[in-house]
Amino acid sequence: MEKNILTVKNLDITFRTNAGNIHAIRGVNFELPSGKTVALVGESGSGKSVTMKAVTGLLDSNAIINSGNIFYNGEDILTFTKKDLRQKINGQQIAMVFQDPMTSLDPTMTIGDQITEGMFLHKKISKSDARQRAIELLNLVGIMDAEKRMKNYPHQLSGGMRQRVVIAVALSCEPKILICDEPTTALDVTVQARILNLIKDIQAEMNLSVIYITHDLGVVAKVADYVNVMYAGKVIEVGTVEEIFYDPRHPYTWGLLSAMPDLETDDDRLYSIPGSPPNLLHEPKGDAFAPRNKFAMKIDEREEPPMFKISETHYAATWLLHPDAPKVELPAELKSRLMRSRKAANYG
């Protein structure tokens, strides 16, 4: 097993709001092995972005961290002061690519200024060196005429180019971890494919560890080594990308996979998970997914399932994996789909 560059342990976060306390993160554990790519998937409100905001210290002021640790290279960054975090970790060690390239760049600054801003802040670097480095970065992310583009403003670039610039900004201080929060949802498929390939190439070149936050399982299949499926503030299934896509065990993961449109079949109906995610203003009793789960058992209403081990890397939190639980058949459609994709991939 590789060494983990980032480990989140039992993270528990509450938001204080006018409506009451929202228990958004209810004990999240996850690991990022050095040099690998981990994906956090789940619906909006499942807590994937909040977890990452905790890692980068960008939580809103009404958030309370009740318990937990976040170890970066062995140090618990939750014990750092805000100032320390800003000077030593953010931007320099851990950088973030935000969702919307239209709003995450400053419209009043040139591309060049935005890329070099972080360098001046974190490094002792001369103006001409910083400029040189910025041009290199623009070349690295595949922007032609880098020298000319340095003087451009964001509005002069297309969406795909802007997202490349955002990546260049994130890479400007040679971070060890890159967090990508839905980096391609605002882009169309051809551009998306190019950006994902780009991040992959850069990852190999700079030995980056990457975290993807996304709800698009197609993107996950393309980039991830490990997958964490989140639901209602918890990781409910974790495994290698092969384990999650070819041998999923949690009914919620089944639902997510079934809801993906399948290019190979001619069904004219898409599966959709019934109901909606729980409101975390009221603490869910038992398994938070039970009300939407047709395989739910009596125990699901009373007690929350622990993580059951399936293999060294594969865990899932569902009572169905308990030795006393009845055997359930996968939904027929998903079963045939998994069979097909295993066959297409020569897996197992």
Nearer to other proteins, 204 or 344 (CB): 344
| Nearest partner of 54 among 3, 118, 6, 5, judged by Cα | 6
In the complex, the smallest distance separating the C-beta of residue 45 from other proteins, rounded to whole angstroms, is 8
Tell me: does residue 219 bind other proteins (CB under 8 A).
yes
Beta bridge partners of 111: none
- The residue whose two tokens read 């005429």 is 145
Binding flags for other proteins, 124-163, as an x/- string (CB under 8 A): ----------------------------------xx----
Structure tokens at 208: 């980056």
The binder of other proteins chosen from 28, 241, 297, 320 (CB under 8 A): 241
- Number of alpha carbons in the 13 Å side-chain half-sphere of residue 211: 31
In the complex, the smallest distance separating the C-beta of residue 85 from other proteins, rounded to whole angstroms, is 31
The binder of other proteins chosen from 245, 254, 315, 319 (CB under 8 A): 245
Structure tokens at 321: 């994996």
Tell me: does residue 344 bind other proteins (CB under 8 A).
yes
Tell me: does residue 188 bind other proteins (CB under 8 A).
yes
In the complex, the smallest distance separating the C-beta of residue 24 from other proteins, rounded to whole angstroms, is 16
d(CA 238, CA 220): 13
Give the E-state strand segments of the chain in sequence order.
4-17, 20-33, 37-41, 63-72, 75-76, 94-97, 177-181, 209-214, 226-231, 234-240, 308-309, 315-316
Residue 80 DSSP class: S
Number of residues that bind other proteins (CB under 8 A): 48
Give the DSSP H/E element, type plus range, for residue 300.
Answer: helix 298-302
Nearer to other proteins, 84 or 188 (CB): 188
What's the full length of the chain, in residues?
A: 348
Residues 270-289 that bind other proteins (CB under 8 A): 270-273, 276
The binder of other proteins chosen from 10, 16, 322, 347 (CB under 8 A): 347
Nearer to other proteins, 87 or 341 (CB): 341
Tell me: does residue 221 bind other proteins (CB under 8 A).
yes
d(CA 40, CA 212): 6
Binding flags for other proteins, 194-213, as an x/- string (CB under 8 A): x--x----------------
Nearer to other proteins, 72 or 212 (CB): 212
| Nearest partner of 46 among 314, 240, 231, judged by Cα | 231
Tell me: does residue 224 bind other proteins (CB under 8 A).
yes
State how far the alpha carbon of 177 is from the alpha carbons of 4, 78, 83, 89, 251, in Å. Answer: 11, 17, 19, 10, 31
d(CA 143, CA 189): 19
> Of the listed pieces 50-58, 59-67, 109-117, 183-191, which binds other proteins according to CB under 8 A?
183-191
In the complex, the smallest distance separating the C-beta of residue 257 from other proteins, rounded to whole angstroms, is 6
Q: Where does this chain bind other proteins (CB under 8 A)?
A: 43-44, 158-159, 185, 187-194, 197, 215-222, 224, 241-242, 245, 255-257, 259-263, 266-273, 276, 341, 344-347
